[in-house]
Amino acid sequence: MSGLKRISMAGADIAVTRGDIADLILKYAMYLGRVGTTDTVTIPVARNGTVEHADLLIGPASQIALTENDDPELEGIELPVGDLAEDLRRRIASVTGRGSYASGATEDDQATFVNLDAYDY
């Protein structure tokens, strides 16, 4: 498991979650921005020494920053993510138009985007 990361949106710290989940949220927001749509994602977060859930609205206007967790009190918390990482990979695949976004694949391996400038809006 990767370490915990802090997710900040629009300059406010909003969540501390597993690093791999935070990385996928950032990628998903980037891809949603490229196609001009939004989505909501529910993620497990560490807050006040307990596990809670946060609903994130992400898309073209998202201003997301990831940093390493700087709160040592949260380090021991186990965040149950179930199939969340795989769900985020499926969502990324649907946005990128690729059939799959296999576990362990990198952005360069999977991300081929349609040239949106070629379309009349």
Question: Would you list the DSSP string of the chain?
Answer: ---EEEEEETTEEEEEEEHHHHHHHHHHHHHHHHHT--EEEEEEEEETTEEEEEEEEESTT--EEEEE---GGGTT-----TTHHHHHHHHHHHHHT-S---TT--HHHH-----GGGS--
The confidence score (pLDDT) of residue 101 equals: 47
The confidence score (pLDDT) of residue 2 equals: 59
The confidence score (pLDDT) of residue 86 equals: 94
Confidence (pTM): 0.76
Averaged pLDDT, 17-27: 94
Confidence of residue 72 (pLDDT cuts 50, 70, 90): confident
